[in-house]
Amino acid sequence: QKEVEQDPGPLSVPEGAIVSLNCTYSNSAFQYFMWYRQYSRKGPELLMYTYSSGNKEDGRFTAQVDKSSKYISLFIRDSQPSDSATYLCAILQGAQKLVFGQGTRLTINP
Amino acid sequence: GAVVSQHPSRVICKSGTSVKIECRSLDFQATTMFWYRQFPKQSLMLMATSNEGSKATYEQGVEKDKFLINHASLTLSTLTVTSAHPEDSSFYICSASGLFYEQYFGPGTRLTVT
C-alpha cells in the first residue's frame, strides 16, 4: 500500500463548479498536510498547509483534514479556467521529507 | 515572500559532459534544501536532502557520485549531474524548507542530454 494515494484523474469540470480533490494516507502518525498546484513545465506552488484536523480556508480554497479517516481534501469554489493544473497532496514524513500523491490533473472548461 | 529560483531553466548538453544547476532562496534563509526529479506526467521523486554545511543525504537508488550536491550557504544549493547520459534527461526541481516544514519549490530545470 502506498503511503499516500491520490486519484490521478483526469478531472474535467465546467467553470464555476466546486471541485473536490482528495487523498488518503496510511500512517496515522502523519501530522502536516500540504496541497500544491503545478502548472505544466513549472515547479509546484504551495497552496495551503495544515497541521490538525478540521478546515482551513484561503480565498476560494478550503483544505480539510480528517485524521480519523486518514483523508485529506482540497475544495475549490467558483473554479476558473486558470485553476487548470495538476494538484498534488503532500504529507510530511518525519522531520523533513515530503511524501507526494500522484497528482490529479484538473481541467476547468470555460 | 518564500521565493526560490533555479538556474538555468533549460539546458541541453552532450553525453559525457557535466551540468550544474543552481537553486537559491531569494527572500529567506533555508537550512534545508531538497532536490527532486520529475518524469512526464509523474509525481516528484525526492533525490536528496541537503543541509547547509553538511553532506547531502541521498535517497535509496540515487547515485551520489553522479548527482553531486553542495549546500554552501543558507541561500544556495547546487546539483551537478556528472558525465550526463540521455537517461538523465528529466525535469529537476529544488525546494527550500520554510519555518513550519512546508517546502517552497523553484521553477525547475529541464535537462536534455543528447
Chain segment B98-109, per-residue pLDDT in tens: 777 788 999 999
- pLDDT score for A33: 93
CB–CB contact A49 B2 (8 Å): no
Do B43 and A42 lie within an 8 Å CB cutoff? no
User: A97 falls in which pLDDT band (50, 70, 90)?
Assistant: confident
d(CA B32, CA A2): 26
Which residues of chain B does A92 touch, with a Cβ-Cβ cutoff of 8 Å? 101
> Using CA atoms, how far apart are residues B36 and B95, in angstroms rounded to an integer?
8
Q: Could you read off the pLDDT of B18-65 as tens digits, one per residue?
A: 999 999 999 888 889 999 999 988 889 999 999 888 889 999 999 999
pLDDT for res B100:
73
CA distance A100 to chain B (A): 7
Helix (H, G, I), strand (E, B) or coil at A83: helix
Hey, is the C-beta of B33 within 8 angstroms of any chain A C-beta?
Answer: no
Which residue of A44, A49, A92 is in closest CB contact with B105?
A44
For B67, the grid coordinates are 548527482
If contacts are CB pairs under 8 Å, which of residues 45-84 in chain A contact chain B?
45-46, 49, 51
The 3-state DSSP class for residue A7 equals coil
Q: In the predicted model, is pLDDT for residue B76 greater than 90?
A: yes
Mutant choice from B5, B10, B43, B102 vs A, greatest count of A C-beta within 10 A: B43
